[in-house]
Structure 1
Amino acid sequence: MTLIGLTTPLSVWVERKNQVSQAYKKILLIVSGSLILLVLVGSFVNLLGIIQYVIVIFMGGSVAGSMLFIKKTSSKFKTKHQEKIEQYFASILLVVVPVLLLTDYITSLHRIEAKIGFTLPVIFIIMASNKLWDDIQRLALFNTAAVSKEHSLSNYALTKREQEVALLLIKGHTYKQVAEQLFISLPTVKTHASNIYKKCGVKSKIELLSLIIC
């Protein structure tokens, strides 16, 4: 639970445009390390019950805070489906996490041991579903890119060769595969790719794909 509370905000901060100060990261690391030490100490002094409550609150607050950060900021990436998925699952977790914590509290009052066995699997399932949905959407993007790619590429003043390279990149080909298919050298492919990204105002194949099909 402590590791979830630590890694969730760290991974979210890296992916967002808004920068988080190093002070917040240091505080998060210090708190997480302190909680891990408390677990080790608590196992010897019989305080694990109290420490577990503290860790559950830390995890819940960390995950909820990370989801709020997603809701109020934008992603570094221009992939629209990814941003939509993140916003959707952030809303789900903002509802689910408080409900889980409240449920854990109520069950503890009735001496029903459901904390770890109930809360963690639900959070893991939601986070895994987020990743799975994102992967499926990425595959769908690659499969549907061919529908309008040629028309879209004509809007960016690409040369005929650059369009050929761009079409292959959009289909998911690597630079080496593009070079082999067009019978040109790898450095030439990289030069064409650099020109394509510059003309289209993007920095990667994913951003190019998103730009062309959106």
Structure 2
Amino acid sequence: MIEISFWVFLGSLLAGFASMLLSLFIYLKYRKIAIIFYIFFLISLFCIILFFFFYLFGGIATADGVMRGDKSLEILQFAGSYGFIAVAPYFYHYILGLRLSRVKIIVTICIDIVLLACSVIFYLTRIPEIGYFVLIPALAVSILYGLILILRNLPSIADKRLSRALKTFLWVSAGFFPLILLDMLDTRLFGVVLFPGGFFALPLYYLVLNILSIVFTMVYFNRPAYLRGGQLTPFFTGEYGITAREGEIILRLIDGASNREIGEKLFISYKTVENHIYNIYQKTGVKNRIELFNLILSNR
């Protein structure tokens, strides 16, 4: 069992490294903002898995699972757990093409500061209550928040490649979520051995996630952005056959202008604006403004 666990961990780490390397290459090629959050998302998971790999197979814990005196490797767990909690919400919003309101940003920053303080205290003191009642629940809530956010916004995602990828991520994560939670809690709360050969759910989830991530990166991220510097890119206009006038209207729609306001600014009639918007919807395959926003803002 331990040998199987070792190879699951090793495979997950190799897949994670490959996924991060590929994502970095794609970012350097296209400079998309979403890929930055995606890379940090992958790095945080990699740090968590790497810590547990050394914890289980590197001889830094005693037979009963207690950490030895040297805490240098615990920084991996600290950085990975906190990094995931801090970065995940931004990644979820960017990949879904959602804008974070100022209130949400302030609340998120405040939560991050509190969790950072708790993480530092936990790292220095190893008070178990901080881990069990603050950090583990925060990590679980972060994962659950992402699943709920994706589930709520799936109907408004017009990009079929992104929709398929997120559906796969949703079902895989939902299936692994309870197992990962038990994996993190381990035996200390239940008094039973949940995974005799060591941790399985988290590295197995990470392995599956990174295999899917490699495919997702190549299929979805490996193309130019739709929006850059507040302007539609030639790739987007060429991909969907958008005319110059339709491009002007799309930018004003993104800025929140009404049909009447667009007509006044472009000196065209209300009916002409409606016709242009109808053509835009037909070309891009969206049904409304929300889907159009998500299509463009999720690939910037």
Q: Return the alpha-carbon distance in structure 2 between the equivalents of residues 195 and 13 of structure 1.
A: 24
Match status 1:24 vs 2:69 = no
Deviations 1:9-37 (A, max 9, x none): 21111122444433223222222222222
CA contact (8 A) 1:16 1:73 kept: yes
Aligned to 2:116: 36
Q: Is the 8 A contact 1:9 1:63 kept in 2?
A: no
Q: In structure 1, what residue type is equivalent to 2:215? A: W
- Which amino acid letter does the alignment assign opposite residue 180 of structure 2? L
State the SS of the aligned residue for 2:174: helix
Give the distance between the partners of 1:2 and 1:90, measured in 2 at CA. 22
The residue aligned with 1:110 is: 191
Contact 1:17–1:73 (8 Å) recurs in 2 = no
Kept after mapping to 2: 8 A contact 1:18/1:74: no
Give yes or no for contact 2:183–2:199 (8 Å, CA) kept in 1: no
Aligned to 2:210: 128
Q: CA deviation at 1:57?
A: 1.3
Structure 2: tracts of 5 or more residues without a match: 1-80, 225-233, 247-278, 285-291, 293-300
1:24-173 → structure 2 map (5 Å cutoff): 24-47=104-127, 49-53=128-132, 54-74=134-154, 78-108=158-188, 109-110=190-191, 120-137=202-219
* TM-score of the pair, normalised by structure 1: 0.55
8 A Cα contact 2:150 2:170, kept in partner: yes
For the 8 Å contact 1:17–1:76, the answer to whether it is kept is no
Q: Tell me the CA shift for residue 91 of structure 1.
A: 2.0
Distance 2:126 2:139 in 1: 21
**What CA distance in whole angstroms lies between the structure 1 residues aligned with 2:160 and 2:183?**
35
How far did residue 133 of structure 1 move? 2.2
1:158-189 Cα offsets, whole Å, 9 max, x none, are xxxxxxxxxxxxxx89xxxxxxxxxxxxxxx9
Change beyond 3 A, Cα 1:195–1:27:
closer
| AA matched with 1:84 | R
Deviations 1:131-182 (A, max 9, x none): 212135459xx9xxxxxxxxxxxxxxxxxxxxxxxxxxxxx89xxxxxxxxx
- Which TM-score applies when normalising by structure 2? 0.41
Which has the larger helix fraction? Answer: 1
Q: Structure 1 regions of 5+ residues with no counterpart?
A: 143-171, 174-188, 208-214
Q: Considering Cα pairs closer than 8 Å and 6+ residues apart, tell me whether 1 or 2 has the greater RCO.
A: 2
Over the aligned positions, Cα root-mean-square deviation in angstroms equals: 4.1
1:42 to 1:18, Cα distance in 2 relative to 1, 3 A? closer
Counterparts in 2 of 1:119 and 1:8: CA distance versus 1, 3 Å: farther
CA contact (8 A) 1:8 1:62 kept: yes
Deviation at 1:66, TM superposition (A): 0.7
Q: CA-to-partner distance for each residue in 1:39-93, whole Å, 9 max, x for gaps?
A: 222344441x222222121111111111111111049874312211111211221
- Contact 2:183/2:202 (8 A) holds in 1: no
Q: Deviations 1:100-146 (Å, cap 9, x if unpaired)?
A: 113433522338698x965653453344233212135459xx9xxxx
- The aligned length equals 156
Identity of aligned residues (%): 11
Residue 210 (structure 1) aligns with: none
Residues 2 and 58 of structure 1 are in contact (CA less than 8 Å); yes or no, is this contact kept in structure 2? no
- CA contact under 8 A between 2:187 and 2:194: conserved in structure 1? yes
Correspondence for 1:15: 95
Q: Specify the alignment match of 2:227 in structure 1.
A: none
